[in-house]
A and B are shown apart, each in its own frame.
Chain A
Amino acid sequence: MKRLLQNRLVLQLALTLIAAASLAGISIVVITDAIRGAESVVLNDTSKTLSAALRELRREQQERTSSDSGWPTLPAAARDLSLRALSYTVLSSFPGVEGGFYNRHDQFLGYSYPTHDTGSLKTDIPSAERPAIAALAQRTVQQQQPVQTVLRGKIDLVVLSAVPGALPGSAIWVMKRLPGRAQHTDRAFLPLLVLIAAALCSILGALAIGLKLEAQLRREARLRSLGRLAAGLAHEIRNPLNSIRLTVQLLEHRLRSGRLAPDDFATIRAEVDRLSTLLNDLLDLQRTRQPQPKSQPVAPVLEHCLALLDRQAQLSGVRLSLDIPDRSISAAFDAHQLTQALMNLLLNALEASPPGSTVTLSVRRHKSDVTLEVEDRGPGLNHEQQEHLFEPFYTTKPAGTGLGLAVSRELIRSQGGDLSYQPGSAGARFILQLPT
C-alpha cells in the first residue's frame, strides 16, 4: 500500500514536472517571439531613420566639397570643423543619432551628436564603439556599398550604419543607441524550465518590454515631429522679425537724412502680413472650424475651384481638366472646408506642373466613399518628401510655410474623410476620400 502510494506520488510529481516543462517551453517560445517581434520593429524603424540621415549627410557633403576647389588642400582641422558644422546641422533633425565622416588618411572627421542629452557640444566619438565604427567604415570603403551592423551590449543595443562618402576612399557613418534592450532569453532557458512562475513573470515582463518599446517608438516619433515644428516655427518667425528690424534701421537712417517716403513702410507691412498669415494657418491647424457636412453633389464645388484657378492656370500655361463620369455623384462634406483643401492641392499641382501639361481632377464613386484625385505632371515626390509630406512646416518651397497640406488633411479628416499621397503615373497624385 505504502509502495503504491509512493509510486503514485512519483508519477504525480513526474507529470507535474512534464507539465511544468511544457508550459515553460511554450512560455519561452512566446517570450522569445514577443521580444524579437518588438525588437525587430524598433530595429526596422531605427534603420530607416539612419538611412535618411545618411542620405542627407551625403548630399550635403557632396555639395560642400564640390563647391570648394580648395577643399583637398585644407588642413585636416579645418575640414573637421566644416564637416562637424555639416553633421551638426543635419543630425539636429534626427534625435538620438550621432555620426560623422571617415577617410583612410584622417580616419575620423566631422563627428557630432547635436541632440545629446547634456546639451553641450559633444565632440568625442564614443570610445567603446570606436573600433566597431572604424571597422564598419573600412568595410564600406572597400565594398563601396551601404553596410549596417547591430552591437548587442549588456545594457543597450547600438545600430551602426555607413555608406560610401562623396569623396573617394571615404565613408559616412551614423549610429543610434537603443536603451533598455531585451535580455537574451536563450541563456535563461534552463532556469526557466525549472521555475514556471519565473517563466510566467517573464511573459509579463516581455509584454511590458514590448509595450515599452512601442511607447518609445511613439514618443520618438512625437518628439521628432515636435522638434521639426518648433524649428520651423522659430525660423518662420525669426526671418520676418529680422527683416522688420533691418527695415526699421533703414527707416531711421532715412528719417535722419529727410528721405523718408510712404513706400518705405511697405516692407514692414508685408512682413507683418506674412506673420499674420502664418499665425492664421497655425490656428487653422489647431482649431479647425467644426465641419457641417451634408450629403450633396461634388460637381459644383469642383467646378467652382477650377473656375477660381482658371486665370492662374492660363498664366502658368497649364490646362485644368475635370474628369467626372456622373454629375450626380454625391458625398457627405462641408463645402467650405472641401473648397479650402482642394484649392491647396490644386495650387500645389499648378506650381509643380511644367508649362503645356495638364492637371487632372478626377472623381470616382466606390461602395462606401467617393474619391477625388488631383494629379499633376510635375517631378513628383521622392521617398523622403512623401514621409514628411503632411508634417507641419515641412516644405520644399523656399517661400512656403509648410502648413498647407497639414491643414488640408485636418480639414478632411474632421469630416470623416482622409487625404493621402500616391505617386502618379508621371507626377504627384493626391487622393481625397469623402464618406457618402
Chain B
Amino acid sequence: MKGLVILLSAVSLLFAQPPPGPPPHPVSLSELRRRLEAARPVDLSASRALEYSRHYLALAEQAHNGGRLPESDRYAAAANALFHVADHQQHLHNGPGPRQPRPAELQDHLRRVYFRTQQANFFVRAARDRSAAPLAPWAREFYQLALRAYDRHDYFAADENAKCAEEIVNALENIAQAANLPPLPPA
C-alpha cells in the first residue's frame, strides 16, 4: 500500500512539471534583439553602446540556450542597460523636451551617480571579463560630461549624461552578478 502511494505521488509529480523549455524571460531576449536590429545610432557613443549591448545579448542567448536562466537574466539586463545608453544619446541628439530637470534634483542625482561610478572598479574586478573593463572609465567619462554640463547650467545634458554613466554601471553590476552566480545543480 505504502509503495503504491509513493508510486502515485511520483507519477503525479511527474505530470505536475511545467511543460518542457525555459520559462518566460524577464527581459525578453527576442524583443531586445528586435530593438537592437532596428536601432540607428546617432553618434559614436551610441554605436559603441549598441555594440556592447549586442555582445551581452549574445551571451544572454547563449546562457539561455544552455538552460542557465539566472545567468541569462543578468546578461540580458546588462544588454538592456547598455541599450538605454544609446537611448539617452538619442535624447541628447533630439534636444531638451518641455520638462527640464531641476538643479536640486540633479545635484542629488549626480551625487548618486558619483557613488555608483565609485563602485565600477569593484564590478570590473568581480566580473573577471576583460571586455567589460573599458566600461568603468567610460562611465566616469559620462559622469565628467555631466558635471561639465551642470557647470554651464545645461541641466538637460547633465541629466542625460549622468543617466548614461548610471546605465553603464548598472550593466557592469549585472555582468559581475552573472559571473558570480552559483553553478546550477546537476539535472
A interface residues (Cβ-Cβ under 8 A, vs B): 60, 63, 70, 74-75, 77-78, 80-82, 84-86, 88-89, 121, 238-240, 242-243, 246, 253, 267, 270, 397-399
B145 touches A243 (CB 8 A): yes
A86 touches B119 (CB 8 A): yes
In the complex, which residues of chain A have a beta carbon less than 8 angstroms from the beta carbon of B111?
A: 398
Task: State which residues 163-187 of B face A: CB under 8 Å.
Answer: 173, 176-177, 180-182
Q: What 1/0 flags go to B96-140 for Cβ under 8 Å of A?
A: 000000000001001110110011001101100000000001001
Interface stretch, picked from B5-13, B28-36, B57-65, B146-154, is B146-154
CA distance A397 to B111 in the complex (A): 9
In the complex, which residues of chain A have a beta carbon less than 8 angstroms from the beta carbon of B181?
A: 75, 77-78
A75-B70, A398-B110 known; A253 vs B44 contact (CB < 8 Å): yes
User: Min CB distance, B25 to chain A, in Å?
Assistant: 13
A243 touches B144 (CB 8 A): yes
In the complex, which residues of chain B have a beta carbon less than 8 angstroms from the beta carbon of A86?
A: 119
CA distance A399 to B145 in the complex (A): 12
Complex: chain B residue closest to A270, CB-CB: B148
CA distance A279 to B107 in the complex (A): 25
User: Min CB distance, B138 to chain A, in Å?
Assistant: 9
In the complex, which residues of chain B have a beta carbon less than 8 angstroms from the beta carbon of A267?
A: 148
- Name 14 A/B residue pairs within 8 A (Cβ), A-sorted: A75-B177, A81-B180, A82-B177, A86-B119, A88-B119, A89-B118, A89-B119, A121-B125, A239-B140, A239-B147, A242-B137, A242-B141, A253-B44, A399-B151
CA distance A239 to B125 in the complex (A): 21
A242 touches B173 (CB 8 A): no
B126 touches A399 (CB 8 A): no
Q: Which of A84, A238, A239, A398 contacts B150 (CB 8 A)?
A: A398
State the total of A-B contacts with C-beta under 8 angstroms.
Answer: 71
User: Min CB distance, A265 to chain B, in Å?
Assistant: 15
Q: Which of A81, A239, A240 contacts B177 (CB 8 A)?
A: A81
In the A-B complex, the 8 residue pairs with the closest CB atoms: A78-B177, A398-B110, A85-B119, A85-B122, A243-B144, A239-B144, A89-B118, A81-B180
CA distance A88 to B126 in the complex (A): 12
Q: What 1/0 flags go to B35-48 for Cβ under 8 Å of A?
A: 00000000010000
In the complex, which residues of chain B have a beta carbon less than 8 angstroms from the beta carbon of A270?
A: 148
Complex: chain B residue closest to A80, CB-CB: B180
B23 within 8 A of A: no
Q: Which of B26, B110, B122, B147 contacts A88 (CB 8 A)?
A: B122
Chain A residues touching B, majority SS: helix
User: Min CB distance, A121 to chain B, in Å?
Assistant: 7
B119 touches A399 (CB 8 A): no
CA distance A243 to B123 in the complex (A): 22
In the complex, which residues of chain A have a beta carbon less than 8 angstroms from the beta carbon of B141?
A: 242-243, 246
A81-B176, A85-B119 known; A398 vs B147 contact (CB < 8 Å): yes
Complex: chain B residue closest to A243, CB-CB: B144
Complex: chain B residue closest to A86, CB-CB: B119
B140 touches A238 (CB 8 A): yes
Q: Which of A74, A75, A242, A397 contacts B144 (CB 8 A)?
A: A242
User: Min CB distance, A75 to chain B, in Å?
Assistant: 5
User: Min CB distance, B70 to chain A, in Å?
Assistant: 5
B147 touches A85 (CB 8 A): no
User: Min CB distance, B153 to chain A, in Å?
Assistant: 11
Complex: chain B residue closest to A245, CB-CB: B141
Most chain B beta carbons < 10 A, residue from A70, A75, A78? A78
A89 touches B173 (CB 8 A): no
A238-B140, A242-B137, A243-B148 known; A78 vs B180 contact (CB < 8 Å): yes
CA distance A350 to B44 in the complex (A): 40
Complex: chain B residue closest to A82, CB-CB: B173
A242-B140, A398-B110 known; A89 vs B115 contact (CB < 8 Å): yes
B54 within 8 A of A: no
User: Min CB distance, A171 to chain B, in Å?
Assistant: 22
Q: Which of B26, B137, B144, B150 contacts A70 (CB 8 A)?
A: B26
Most chain A beta carbons < 10 A, residue from B70, B74, B144? B144
CA distance A399 to B114 in the complex (A): 11
User: Min CB distance, B74 to chain A, in Å?
Assistant: 7
In the complex, which residues of chain B have a beta carbon less than 8 angstroms from the beta carbon of A246?
A: 141, 144-145
Complex: chain B residue closest to A246, CB-CB: B141
User: Min CB distance, A233 to chain B, in Å?
Assistant: 15
In the complex, which residues of chain B have a beta carbon less than 8 angstroms from the beta carbon of A60?
A: 115
In the complex, which residues of chain A have a beta carbon less than 8 angstroms from the beta carbon of B150?
A: 398-399
A74-B177, A242-B144 known; A85 vs B115 contact (CB < 8 Å): no
Complex: chain A residue closest to B74, CB-CB: A78
In the complex, which residues of chain B have a beta carbon less than 8 angstroms from the beta carbon of A238?
A: 140
In the complex, which residues of chain A have a beta carbon less than 8 angstroms from the beta carbon of B180?
A: 77-78, 80-81
User: Min CB distance, B76 to chain A, in Å?
Assistant: 12
CA distance A75 to B181 in the complex (A): 8
CA distance A70 to B81 in the complex (A): 14
Q: Which of B70, B122, B125, B147 contacts A399 (CB 8 A)?
A: B147
